[in-house]
Amino acid sequence: MLLNDPLMLLYLITPFGLMTTLVLCLSYVGHGRHSPAVHAWIVGDLVLAAYRVVPMLQPGLVPEHLPWLGLFTPGQCFTANIALLLIAIGSHTLALHYMGDSTAGNQRILVTVLGPALAFALGAHALLPSGWVLPWFTGWLALAIAWQLRVTWPLRQRYRGAWGLIVGHVALILFHAGNTLAMLVETPPALVLDIPDLPSLAALAMDFMVSFLFTLSFALMLQEQLRHQIQHLSVTDSLTGALNRRGASTLLRQEWAQALLRRYPAAMVMIDLDHFELINDQHGHAVGDAALQLFARTVHALKRESDVFVRWGGEEFLLVFPHTEAEQAQGFLDRLKTALAADQQLPFTLSFSAGLADTRSLAARQDFETLLGHVDQALYRAKQVRGRVEVVA
């Protein structure tokens, strides 16, 4: 039968590999164009396609009228094939790295993508044609997939699609680790390298199923990432990276209500950049935008992850500090003022006025809108002098 011939099955699976690459290339259109995760996964799928093609390039398998296609001896085919598979696994692992962290240096690329393939190829060259090369290759596959599982595991909290990858990882680790242990207990015979080296039906079937599962899972993760990005953009000010007023409104009310309910301190600060209209008039709106971005970058660098930072409108910003009293918030504002004064990126020094309240103030015991009004009034008083902070009683 057709499926009893590994070479024929290989012919079926190779187009499937190219098809999965095409699916991911379609993901490249749109947001994927700027996604390093998509780039790395597509590279991995292209390498997988090459991995499937290499076994067909051995003498004795190529058509007689195309003898130049017989590029690899069986030994070379075995080494190149597994090295390509490890590069593909490494590229996919790098893509998953990028799903959690969009930055990855050249060292990570070298270690994740090329390191395992190079180590395997050097060992395989030394161990061919002994039987020890088989546990060497299954062991490296198990290690590479285990490392990919380690990278994927934290992503399950952000992407449901990661669970499909995790299921595939566990199945592959059990498959290859079991083979490795079995061959270490009873060393397999030396490889026969005078006939074409072809993957087994079991390996090809596993390849087909895992490729389908992994492509589907990664595509789902990309869709989830896009949805997160759209949601993030809908609540984020594009110029400063702070939350916008609409996106932060519910969060601010919940944070303040929790502070009052659980009786822990919280502070609220409304900030207005001093003389901002003058900055726009004298230096232009581009410099005004740069001033807003500089202010936001400085706040992001100083604030805690739990602090809520909102662009309230124009040059006004709102900060809510959980588990913080007014004196501590005042310390933050002092550090912010010092950092802005030390920055030399603009032809002037940014300063600000602020209104400040915490949960100990009488106004904090009223509804959130009333509290905002009191903080806004304190800001108004501070702006009469400029460069100062007014605290709500």
pLDDT tens across 41-88, in order? 888 888 888 888 888 888 877 677 677 777 888 888 889 989 999 999
Domain stop point among 189, 209, 235 = 235
Residue 24: pLDDT band (50, 70, 90) is low
Which of 138, 143, 118 shows the shortest CA–CA distance to 206? 138
- pLDDT digits over 187-207, tens only? 788 777 777 777 777 777 777
Judgement on whether residues 105 and 155 belong to the same structural domain of the protein: yes
Same domain, 278 and 164: no
Please report, for the domain that includes residue 335, its CATH number.
3.30.70.270
Average pLDDT for the chain: 84
Closest listed residue to residue 317, CA positions, set 255, 384, 239: 239
pLDDT band at 3; cut points 50, 70, 90: very low
Contact 356, 379 (CB under 8 A): no
Average pLDDT, stretch 231-248?
82
The reported pTM is 0.67
Q: Are residues 294 and 339 in the same domain?
A: yes
Domain count, the chain: 2
Rounded Cα–Cα distance for residues 331 and 145 (Å): 49
Domain CATH number, residue 29? 1.20.1070
Compute φ and ψ for 311, nearest 5 degrees.
Answer: -85, 110
Are residues 50 and 7 located together in one domain of the fold? Answer: yes
Which residues constitute the domain of residue 17? Answer: 2-235
Tokens 């590999």 sit on residue:
17
- Residue 345, pLDDT > 80, answer yes
**Structural domain ending residue among the three candidates 185, 219, 235:** 235
DSSP 3-state of 192? coil
pLDDT band at 309 (very low <50, low <70, confident <90, very high): very high
Out of 235, 259, 277, a domain closes at 235
Co-location of 138 and 256 in the same domain: no
Q: Is the pLDDT confidence value at 91 over 70?
A: yes
16: how many CB neighbours lie within 10 A of its CB?
A: 16
Q: Give the β-pairing of 352-358 and 389-391.
A: parallel
- CA angle 169/130/191 to nearest 5° reads 75
Q: What angle do CA 194, 195, 200 make, to 5 degrees?
A: 135
List Cβ neighbours of 206 (8 Å cut-off, separation of 6 or more): 172, 175
| Claim to verify: residue 378 and residue 277 sit in the same structural domain | yes
Q: Hey, which of 90-99, 190-199, 224-233 has the most confident mean pLDDT?
A: 90-99
Angstrom distances, CA of residue 281 to CA of 278, 318, 353:
5, 25, 20
Q: Are residues 64 and 206 in the same domain?
A: yes
Region 273-297 average pLDDT: 92
C-alpha closest to that of 134 among 86, 210, 186: 186
Pair 188, 70 in one domain? yes
Do 32 and 112 fall within a single domain?
Answer: yes
Instruction: Give the angle subtended at the CA of 152 by the CAs of 47 and 138, to the nearest 5°.
Output: 55
